[in-house]
Chains A and B, each alone.
Chain A
Amino acid sequence: MLIKQLSVFVENKKGRLSAITDILRQSAIDIRALSVADTKDFGILRLIVNDVDKAYTALKDGECLVSLTDVIAVQITDKPGGLADAMDILSSADISVEYMYAFISKCDGLASVILRVDDNEKAQNVLSDRFKLLTQAEISA
Chain B
Amino acid sequence: MGNYYDKAMECATLYEMESLQSFRLSQTVRRVYENVPFYRDRMIEQGVTPDDIKSVADLHKLPFVMKQDLRDTYPYGLFAVPLEDVVRLHASSGTTGKQIVVGYTRNDLEIWNDCAARALVAAGGTKADFMHVSYGYGLFTGGLGVHGGAEKLGMTVIPVSTGNTARQINIFKDFGSTLICWTPSYAMFIAETMRDMGITKDQIKLKAGLFGAEPWTQEMRVTLEEMLGLKAYDIYGLTEIIGPGVSFECEEQTGMHICEDHFIPEIIDPDTGKVLPLGEQGELVFTCISKEAFPLLRYRTRDIAVLSREKCSCGRTLIKMLKPKGRTDDMLIIRGVNVFPSQIETALLSVAGSEPFYHINVDRINNNDTLEIEVEVSEAMFSDTIKSMEDIENAIRVAVESVIGIGAKITMCEPKTLKRFEGKAAHVTDRRKLLD
Contacts and interface: CB of A to CB of B under 8 A. Distances in A.
Contact of B382 (A9, A11, A38): A9
Interface string B352-387: 000000000000000000000000010100111111
B384 A5 contact: yes
B415 A7 contact: no
A44 interface: yes
A64 interface: yes
B385 A99 contact: yes
Nearest to B390: A39
Interface stretch (B133-141, B190-198, B257-265, B406-414): B406-414
Interface residues of A, number: 21
Most chain B Cβ neighbours within 10 Å, of A5, A37, A65: A65
Contacts of B386: 37-39, 44
A7 B389 CA distance: 12
Contacts of B389: 39, 42, 44
A46 B386 CA distance: 12
Interface residues of B, number: 17
B390 A44 contact: no
Contacts of B379: 65, 67
B272 interface: no
A9 B414 contact: yes
A140 to B, nearest CB: 20
Interface string B249-271: 00000000000000000000000
B413 A116 contact: no
Nearest to B413: A11
B371 to A, nearest CB: 16
Interface in A27-67: 37-39, 41-42, 44, 46, 63-65, 67
A46 B383 CA distance: 11
Contacts of A44: 384-386, 389
Contacts of B382: 7, 9, 65, 67
A38 B385 CA distance: 10
Contacts of A46: 384
Interface in A5-25: 5, 7, 9-11, 16
A3 to B, nearest CB: 14
Contact of B415 (A10, A38, A65): A65
B167 interface: no
B63 to A, nearest CB: 50
B419 interface: no
- Counting chain B CB atoms within 10 Å of each CB, which of A38, A41, A64, A69 scores highest? A41
Contacts, number: 49
Contacts of B385: 37, 44, 98-99, 116
A46 to B, nearest CB: 6
Contacts of A16: 414
B433 interface: no
A5 B416 CA distance: 24
A69 B377 CA distance: 17
A108 B390 CA distance: 40
B390 A116 contact: no
Nearest to A40: B411
A59 to B, nearest CB: 12
B283 to A, nearest CB: 40
A11 B417 contact: yes
Contact of A69 (B384, B390, B411, B417): B384
B416 A63 contact: yes
B390 A10 contact: no
Nearest to B415: A65
Nearest to A5: B384
Contact of B411 (A38, A41, A63, A65): A41
B388 to A, nearest CB: 9
Given A9-B377, A39-B390, A65 B414 contact: yes
Contacts of B415: 63, 65
A14 to B, nearest CB: 13
Given A37-B385, A67-B382, 17 more contacts: A5-B384, A7-B384, A9-B412, A9-B414, A10-B414, A11-B414, A11-B417, A38-B386, A39-B389, A42-B377, A42-B412, A44-B384, A44-B386, A44-B389, A65-B414, A98-B385, A116-B385
15 contacts: A5-B384, A11-B412, A11-B413, A11-B414, A37-B385, A41-B411, A42-B377, A42-B412, A44-B384, A44-B389, A65-B379, A65-B414, A65-B415, A67-B384, A116-B384
Interface of B: 377, 379, 382-387, 389-390, 411-417
Lowest 4 A-B CB distances belong to which pairs?
Answer: A7-B384, A69-B384, A11-B414, A37-B386
